[in-house]
Amino acid sequence: MSSVISSHNPDAVSRAVGVLNAGGLVGLPTETVYGLAARADIDDAVTRIFHAKGRPMGHPLILHISEISELDRYAIEVPLPALTLAQQCWPGPLTLLLHKTEAVSSLVTGGRETVAIRIPANECARQIIKQCGNAVAAPSANIFGHVSPTSAQHVVSDLGDNVDLIIDDGNCSIGVESTIVDFTTDQPQLLRPGGFPVEDLESIIGQQILMPTGESRASGMLASHYAPRCRVVVAETIDIAKRALSDYGNARILDHWDNSPLYAASLYTQMRQADEDGMEAVIAVFPPKSGLGMAIRDRLIKASFL
């Protein structure tokens, strides 16, 4: 069994740093979902991430840093609006896609010249990254294609022995992954809706962020992602959802559909619970598109692909 340590344990940070510096993998709590972290400058450790998740090499990872002053080390030609967002939204559920420096290995970026970077809002995670002395690469700590983990228990159940240490900081407060905005093209473009509402980002920079178009470059944008084993059926309204229930012998409507922050925070736990309870299907009511609703709708659609 992988070892789990509470974030409240005074040794938690130093143990995590020890594991990372030795080339190991740490289940890292963040405000969005738990990450599977390795030191980004240790190629063997980064390679282990792909093996542990069953993730195809070439799917790029997000670099997690602890302070905005570290940005220069990993990104160049940061446009002003990107810098504004970094200053105003970090630490927080926002990832910026930027041009990379030599310091970022092509293993992390899947051979691309761009790098995705964020500062997570979780205090313990930031301490770990800071004391590590280098950025950590961390995808969500789930088996590739499965529902992201929002508790330490979820990480244990997906990755077990393939992770050396898991820091248990309870349930993630936001519950869906970070919003990713590409600043390497002429106009900023959304790659993945997430925990930071895109309309809030637009109002901070006073500029429109283009919606994702064409072939996506983010793996979370692939069909059949974020999916439990049971069927996920989406419904526009609660009345339609109630009618859909009768199509299945053993199904339930996902709770908190009328409160987007709660819906987001509980979504992945509810999907995993439905599998544990042997449900045939879950029926999910679409939330309004505003705020966290956009990310929830996106994940529900991805999860509903057969």
Residues that bind Mg ion (CB under 5 A): 140
Q: Write the DSSP symbol of residue 165.
A: E
Residues 201-240 that bind ligand TXA (CB under 6 A): 217-220
Residues 13-32 that bind ligand TXA (CB under 6 A): 30, 32
Question: What is the contact mask toward ligand TXA in residues 183 to 202, using x (rule: CB under 6 A)?
Answer: --------x-----------
**d(Cα 145, Cα 167) in Å, to the nearest integer?**
23
Taking CB within 5 to 8 Å according to partner kind, which of Mg ion, ligand TXA, none is near residue 162?
none
Taking CB within 5 to 8 Å according to partner kind, which of ligand TXA, Mg ion, none is near residue 178?
ligand TXA
Angle at 132 between CA 39 and CA 156, to 5 degrees: 60
Residues 58-117 that bind ligand TXA (CB under 6 A): 59-62, 95, 97, 109, 112, 114-116
- Nearer Cβ to ligand TXA (219/270): 219
- Nearer Cβ to ligand TXA (122/304): 122
What backbone phi and psi angles, to 5 degrees, belong to 67? -145, 150
Q: Write the DSSP symbol of residue 162.
A: G
- Nearer Cβ to ligand TXA (32/260): 32
Burial readout 56-90 (b: 16 or more C-beta within 10 A, e: otherwise): eeeebbbbbbbeeebbeebbeebbebbbebbeebb
Residues that bind ligand TXA in the complex, under the rule CB under 6 A? 30, 32-33, 35, 59-62, 95, 97, 109, 112, 114-116, 120, 138-140, 177-178, 180, 191, 217-220
